Every structure is written in C-alpha cells, then in structure tokens.
Structure 1
C-alpha cells in the first residue's frame, strides 16, 4: 500500500492552511494589480496602455510581481477586461422590464449611459491594437452582444412585431446609436451634459423602435 500524506485528506491541517493562505494572497495580489491597471486607464485617457512600471507603482508591488502572475501585459489587459465586464454587469441590472414604452426607453438609456460613462477609458484601451489580440476581440464581441441582449429584453413588445430580418436591422441600428463611442462623442465632442446626452439617446431610440403593439403599455 502506498503512503498517503494525512494532511491531503484534512483541509484544516497546518500544511493545507499555509497553501490556501498563499493562494488567497496571490489571488488578492492579482486583483489589486488589475484594479491598479483599471484605475490608471480611467485617470489617464491619453495613455491607453499603462506600462508595467506604472501599474506596479500604483498597485504597490514590484514589476516582477506583475509578471509572476501575468506572463505579459496583453494577458493582464484581457484579465482586466473580464473583471470590468463582470463588474459592469453587476452594477447595471435590467430595470423596469414590464414598464410602458417611455419608462423602458428611459430606464435602458440611463443604465446604458451610466455604464458608458464609467467604461469609456477601458473601452479605448481594449480597442488599442485590438487586431493583435484575438482574446480582446472576443471580449469586445461579448460586450456588444450583451448590449443587444439587453435591448431585446427591454424592447421585446416592439421587436416581436418585426420579422427576423427587420428585427436584426433594428437591433444593429440601436446598438450603434448606444455604442460607448457614441456616448463619448455626445459628452466630449458635443459637450452635452449627462442628462442632455440621455435625452438625445431617448429621442433617437423612440424614433427607431416600431410602434408598440396594442395591448402593451404605451405610456
């Protein structure tokens, strides 16, 4: 019979506690590095990709600590994208799904605008040299698909009245209008306030959506 270390069966053994403690500390270090990366991006819109030295300084670790956990900065950027997408989803649950047309449009726009307001710097960082990183292309596609899925949920009464081809065209148009770069243009290029930007989106969506079917709440 082969000998088996008793500690392997006992998670409370000192040996396993030490291993778990090291793993938890390592995971916490990874999270702090990711958060430092995201903080730098949010604060410095002109620097789409921070250097390892910048990230290390912000996180309070050495450059070596970064590359012990991430083989390169591309991997870190992908991890930061996953973290930010999960965080954005948690902060922006769908609201007023069963409301009338005006309530649903306003609710969607305010939620979407808030997500864009928080995420524009990260989005630009994701797009920087995106053709060199297939993993980032996947994350960008995931983000766009989530936007479409949210619109399908919020505007179901209006969209179900369309055939598949028209529904797809409408969703593409709505996604383009409420794209994060569209929000950046409203805010930065045209100087609109948050409220005025939302009003512009609300008016555009209301024009593009087909009429609300009979029986569904209109207002």
Structure 2
C-alpha cells in the first residue's frame, strides 16, 4: 500500500493543474460573454490570474483551448437540449423545439460567434460545429418524423433541409441580431415558420 505522504504531493499538483486549466477556460468564456470575440492570450491570462506562459503550458494553442471550452460546456448543452416527446400534437412539438432552440442559442451565442470566426482555419472547431449541426438536424427529423413521412416523397429532402435552415443558429442570429427581435418575438417568428413548413403539402 502506498504511503499517503508520497501520494499527497502528486495529488496536490494534479488538483492545482485541474484548477488552473478550469480557470483558463472560465476566463476565456467570460471574455467571450463580455463581447470580446477573439481575446488575446494575455487577456485570458490576466482574467485567469496566471502568466501567459502558463496558458501555453496547459494548452498548446488557441485551438486546443477552444476544444477545452467545447468539452467543458457539452454536459450543460445536453441538459439544455432536453428530451422532446415526438408523439404529441404538432403545435406542442413545434413549441417545444422553438423553446429548445431559444434557450440553447441564447446560451451558446457568445462562444458560437468566436467559433464561427475560427471554423475556416480550425479542423477541431469545424468538426465540433458540424457535429452539433448534425445533432440538431437529427432532432428535427425525429420530432417531426410523422409530418416528414406524410410529405410527398419527392419533396421530403427539401422539407428536411428547409426545417434545418429555419431552426438553425444562423436563422436565430438573423432574427435576434439583424432584425433586433427579442427572444419572445424571435421565438414567435420561428414557430410560425416551422408550422408553415410542416403543414404545407
């Protein structure tokens, strides 16, 4: 059996490393939420109360740091997505999807804007965004499977694509940022769009 005297120092270093990594991630998220789309390593270090070299000791580059942010937020994102019953009335399911997208998009918006800037030059960021996009499309296909199956076969792929576009982050951002709608008004616009698509045979 290992002596606790030998174990404790190592455990202490590991714990400090974990705390430092978490502080760096939290610092980046805080800066993004304050509107800084591309904070510098120096800004992140100041917010995390560490030296810039410490940031690089834990994260080799900005891509690795953004990957850590994505990983740290994934559990909460799963909770926000929730579980939507695919067997309810159409209006209820549309309302549930709209509520889901509103709470998810409002929460991810600051980090999402930064990720979109990085996507063209970052394979890991691109992969993370594509994975989430696929998850959202699959959720729409599951929740509205009945309506999609009832649609004329030649138009199903177009309907699925239209649903995905309408319920995308880009569409939500257009409603909130470009048109200046509040969450309630943006939700109403999205709900009306989805209902129109799903009832137009």
- Cα distance in 2 for partners of 1:54, 1:164 equals 54
Runs of 5+ consecutive residues of structure 2 not aligned to the other structure = none
Q: Does the CA contact (< 8 Å) of 2:86 and 2:93 recur in 1?
A: yes
Matched, 1:177 2:166: yes
- Cα distance in 1 for partners of 2:87, 2:50 equals 48
Question: Which residue matches 2:46?
Answer: 57
Aligned residue among 24, 28, 35 for 2:26:
35
Relative to the length of structure 1, the TM-score reads: 0.82
- Cα distance in 2 for partners of 1:163, 1:86 equals 38
Aligned residue among 185, 194, 199 for 1:205:
194
Q: Does the CA contact (< 8 Å) of 2:120 and 2:126 recur in 1?
A: yes
Give the secondary structure class of the aligned counterpart of 2:150: coil
- After alignment, is 78-87 or 23-32 more displaced? 78-87
Runs of 5+ consecutive residues of structure 1 not aligned to the other structure = 1-5, 213-219
- Cα distance in 2 for partners of 1:28, 1:153 equals 39
- After alignment, is 57-66 or 191-200 more displaced? 57-66
- Cα distance in 2 for partners of 1:34, 1:127 equals 18
Relative to the length of structure 2, the TM-score reads: 0.89
Q: Does the CA contact (< 8 Å) of 1:120 and 1:181 recur in 2?
A: no
Number of equivalences: 201
Q: Does the CA contact (< 8 Å) of 1:116 and 1:180 recur in 2?
A: yes
